[in-house]
Structure 1
Amino acid sequence: MATYDKVRAKKSLGQHFLHDEGIARKITEGLLLDKTGNQVLEIGPGMGVLTKYLVEITNLQLKVIEIDRDSVAYLKRHFALLDGKIIEGDFLKEDLDSVFSGTFSIIGNFPYNISSQIFFRVLEQRNRVEQVVCMLQKEVADRIASRHGNKTYGILSVLLQTFYNIENLFKVPPGVFTPPPKVMSAVIRLVRNDRKQLGCDEKLFVTVVKTGFNQRRKTLRNALKNLTLSSDVAALPVMDKRAEQLSVEDFIQLTQVIEKSRAVQHGV
């Protein structure tokens, strides 16, 4: 491959191209295809460092989505097997019903500047996205996989762990990228768990989680004050805790209590 044919990383797109082939193969091997279907969507393939290993997997139904025109042109020149399978677009806005019917998995080296947004989109599509294997900023990966009681535990930790089993796979140093980022990276795997229903209003659950962590140094009694809690709910022992001390199940139970209290208040 001639040097002039390479795609230049664009800072505006948060691009850092992985050039370590060993790590690229290891990332693709993180897909648990024996436990899921064979439809896979790669987000942000760039110059195809993961793609070249994905196309080698037998019976894999692969599609890639790339927002960068230069990268799209590069992929079309170098990956004949992707003919008709390259989507030039934004994963955050793309109609995923037109990409795959049924369930699928996601893989990719996520741009650091939009990784959280990608995960919120995954949550919206959780009944279709069976698993995610991705590389992202280590700090965000640690936050997502963090358990309650840790300082890194937060909104994304709770919301993703509600519906996915999360595993931190391995760390990736800056030197294997062009250009090298200023931070460490990590690869994580999310696999959809068996939870179908929360047993409470989902919007209220998300509100309770986000509001609790927005003032994470305060007790829940003070952090959730704007939710106009009844005196009975406000007096519960759990309200003496901070958001980071509650597990996913604790947040679900708290939301259930708040929901029931509101129903009584409104005579439902």
Structure 2
Amino acid sequence: MSLDGLPPLRDVIARHDLSAKKALGQNFLLDLNLTSKIARAAGDLSTHDVLEVGPGPGGLTRALLMEGARKVVAVERDPRCLPALTEVAAHYPGRLEVIEGDALKTDLGPHLISPVRIVANLPYNVGTELLVRWIEGPPFWDTLTLMFQKEVADRIIAQPGTSAYGRLAILAQWTCEARRVFDLPPSAFTPPPKVTSSVVHLARLPEPRFPANPRTLSQITAAGFNQRRKMLRSSLKSLHPDMEELLQSVGIAPTERAERVSLEAFCALARALDAARKG
């Protein structure tokens, strides 16, 4: 038996024939000590519902329940994993709800009671898309504790002037306090991925760091970072005929490139662009 009184995950995987599927972005984390470390990084779970996406055979699910989560709502699209998760639910009566479906297409609101924390070892193929949806969507969660490829984690916490700095950093850091918690080597997973993974914790701020219209900020960062080698006076010129003057008005050199501009300066430019458009 494992720490939680359930069979070891390797035995569960063998019994249910749960070989990881590359098409589903599956890499299973089997060490309950490591999954418990992730669960603890999410903070006190005893007063929260926890949303987990891609639980697989239930390694992190078990850790979340063992660490005291009020309730876990686990969304799994691979039907092979459901019997293993049913066994976990029976071990923790009334505290685990398993939903078969695609997290990108499933309305989870009716299944969760606020306050909510999201904790997940996200499938690599949908991790970034889910993060963007959660950040840009209705604020139904307090914190996100998520595992990504290290490259994605680098982009989330990147600072201006670095090669990883881009739209994802702007989006995450505008509305959240974002930090890397720890890294995990490929050897921690079954099967081992080709890359190092990182756990990132994002805590939603009461208000965005700087005032800006989200749509305008998105337009500016999309144009700026889609052509990141170009000067901003060129990459942003389609947004307004007086873009060079707008850049200068907020203290950004028109010859600057997007990767060197701070979040605060991008927000100032968004406000200036909105004002100019209203004219």
Q: Which has the bigger relative contact order, CA under 8 A and spacing at least 6?
A: 1
1:233 matched to 2:243? The reply is: no
Shift of 1:207: 0.9
Map 1:106-185 to 2 at 5 A: 106-125=118-137, 127-185=139-197
Against the structure 1 CA distance between its residues 16 and 45, is the aligned structure 2 distance closer, same or farther, given a 3 Å change threshold? same
For these two proteins, the number of residue pairs brought into alignment is: 263
Against the structure 1 CA distance between its residues 62 and 253, is the aligned structure 2 distance closer, same or farther, given a 3 Å change threshold? same
CA distance in 2, matches of 1:141, 1:184: 10
CA distance in 2, matches of 1:220, 1:68: 45
Verify the 8 A CA contact 1:126 1:163 in the aligned structure 2.
no
Verify the 8 A CA contact 1:137 1:186 in the aligned structure 2.
yes
TM-score normalized by structure 1? 0.91
Verify the 8 A CA contact 2:32 2:63 in the aligned structure 1.
no
CA distance in 2, matches of 1:229, 1:150: 29
- What residue is the counterpart of 2:51 in the other structure? 41
The amino acid across from 2:31 in the alignment is D
1:8 matched to 2:23? The reply is: no
CA distance in 2, matches of 1:146, 1:208: 18
Show structure 1 runs of 5+ residues with no match: none
Shift of 1:101: 3.9
1:195 matched to 2:207? The reply is: yes
1:17 matched to 2:32? The reply is: no
> What is the percentage of aligned positions where both structures have the same residue?
34
Matched residue of 1:262: which SS? Answer: helix
Query: Of 219, 223, 243, which residue of structure 1 is paired with 2:258?
Result: 243
1:93 matched to 2:105? The reply is: yes
Verify the 8 A CA contact 2:28 2:189 in the aligned structure 1.
yes
- What residue is the counterpart of 2:220 in the other structure? 208
CA distance in 1, matches of 2:101, 2:195: 27
TM-score normalized by structure 2? 0.87
Shift of 1:71: 1.2
Matched residue of 1:105: which SS? Answer: strand
Against the structure 1 CA distance between its residues 137 and 163, is the aligned structure 2 distance closer, same or farther, given a 3 Å change threshold? same
Against the structure 1 CA distance between its residues 229 and 40, is the aligned structure 2 distance closer, same or farther, given a 3 Å change threshold? farther
Verify the 8 A CA contact 1:132 1:189 in the aligned structure 2.
yes
Verify the 8 A CA contact 1:6 1:47 in the aligned structure 2.
no
The amino acid across from 1:254 in the alignment is L
CA distance in 1, matches of 2:278, 2:256: 24
Matched residue of 1:191: which SS? Answer: strand
Shift of 1:40: 0.9
* RMSD, matched Cα: 2.1
Against the structure 1 CA distance between its residues 212 and 226, is the aligned structure 2 distance closer, same or farther, given a 3 Å change threshold? same
Verify the 8 A CA contact 2:50 2:72 in the aligned structure 1.
yes
Matched residue of 2:269: which SS? Answer: helix
- What residue is the counterpart of 2:276 in the other structure? 261
Shift of 1:179: 1.0
Against the structure 1 CA distance between its residues 82 and 208, is the aligned structure 2 distance closer, same or farther, given a 3 Å change threshold? farther
- What residue is the counterpart of 2:7 in the other structure? none
Deviations 1:42-98 (A, max 9, x none): 111111111112112336222111111111222113431266611111111211322
- 4+ residue runs of structure 1 moved beyond 4 angstroms? 234-237
CA distance in 1, matches of 2:109, 2:209: 22
CA distance in 1, matches of 2:69, 2:59: 20
